[in-house]
Chains A and B, each alone.
Chain A
Amino acid sequence: MNYQPSLPEHNDNVSHQHPVREFIILVSGVLAIVFMGYWALGLFVDVAVDYLSPEQEAQLQTKINIDWDWGEDVMPETQAKLQSLVDSLQPCVPLPYPITVNLVRPSENPDMINALAFPGGKMVVFAGLLDAVQSTNGLMFILAHELGHFKNRDHLRALGRGIVLSILTLLIFGGDSDFLAATINQRTANYSQSRESQADQTALNALQCHFGHVGGATELFESLQSQEGESDLGFAHYFSTHPELQQRIDNLQRLAQERGYSQDKTQELMQH
């Protein structure tokens, strides 16, 4: 028996595909599955939310009690006035549960112009909004817009989608809480454009029902639009998920025309 020393020319025990290529293929596969899962579950949430009866919705609202720390109660009197404004809108936007208004001024961004609808019938109004609107009608439109989110159950949809998203991120990142919290916070007040314009529509109807005209409906959007170039006090952030301002104004005006809503003089904003 002879010994013939030799080595194989190429290595058959390893694949010669480039790892980066494999990585890209696998990651895009995972992302595709995740997006499909998110889309399907989101659709399921939408359907489930539509099937809820008003009683179930009211019951659900009382069970969810989110207690976020938005800073100190800065203006209790103004908050009470806002509450009465919201209550006066109730006959026009009927809801099976009470809405409580929280007026907040976040310390890190005191001039933020925003209002949010949270599960549990909690409406959060940022103090910056009161400085940005000129008339009661303009303010009422924003409040009615948030009531519209409640009426359309958008906050429940957002909550459901938030839960779906957190479960998915939990599955992928294995309970990476930092990342999770960031995504959930981002998602809670994040509605799609169609949801926003639907809420705008509800708000326009509520304004007509309450005042008998829709003057001041586009007031905030117009003033934001004129300010937009001058500074960026966080409007860009708030309106990133909202339809383009001009588009929103156009939609509202077209809708008002279609329904024959008139635009009368607006009321002076009460002092706060």
Chain B
Amino acid sequence: MFVSNIEEIPGKTITTCYGIVSGSTVRAKHLGRDIFASVKNIFGGELKGYTELLGESRDEALDRMKSQAQQLGANAIVNVRFSTSSVAAGAAEIYVYGTAVTVE
């Protein structure tokens, strides 16, 4: 599965377009991590737990998008965009969408 955030997959030609595909996930860390993060917030620095959380969420959202594209019969996704929002406090919500295409 080719994924890019530009209009095309370089070196390939797009033959068929299937429309928008998307993947989303909402994940949270357990309370202990939340408490640790708020303590860490006093001193500053990287919040490893949350970095990890966002990474996991992004991977899962990408996987879901790819699986959707596969179901449509596409072999590439172009013009991919990530967006985040916060619906639940303390949870990472990742949304990724793009255009499913077949390239040759």
Give the chain A neighbours of B6 by CB distance below 8 A. Answer: none
- Asked whether any CB of chain B lies closer than 8 Å to the CB of A232, the reply is no
Q: How many chain-A residues does the 8 Å CB contact rule pick out? A: 12
Q: Known contacts being A10-B71, A12-B67, is A4 close to B23, with CB within 8 Å? A: no
Q: What are 10 A-B contacts defined by CB distance under 8 Å? A: A1-B17, A1-B101, A5-B19, A6-B18, A6-B19, A6-B72, A12-B67, A12-B68, A13-B25, A13-B68
Give the chain B neighbours of A10 by CB distance below 8 A. Answer: 71
| Residue positions of B touching A, CB distance < 8 A | 14-19, 21-25, 64, 67-68, 71-73, 101
Give the complex CA separation of A115 and B22 in angstroms: 68
- Asked whether any CB of chain B lies closer than 8 Å to the CB of A2, the reply is yes
The answer on a CB contact under 8 Å between A4 and B17 is: yes
Give the residue name and chain of the B residue nearest to A13 (CB). Answer: B24
Give the complex CA separation of A4 and B14 in angstroms: 13
Give the complex CA separation of A2 and B17 in angstroms: 6
The answer on a CB contact under 8 Å between A8 and B16 is: no
- Asked whether any CB of chain B lies closer than 8 Å to the CB of A67, the reply is no
The answer on a CB contact under 8 Å between B23 and A13 is: yes
- Asked whether any CB of chain B lies closer than 8 Å to the CB of A9, the reply is yes
Q: Known contacts being A1-B15, A2-B17, A13-B24, is A8 close to B68, with CB within 8 Å? A: yes
- Asked whether any CB of chain B lies closer than 8 Å to the CB of A51, the reply is no
Give the chain A neighbours of B16 by CB distance below 8 A. Answer: 1-4
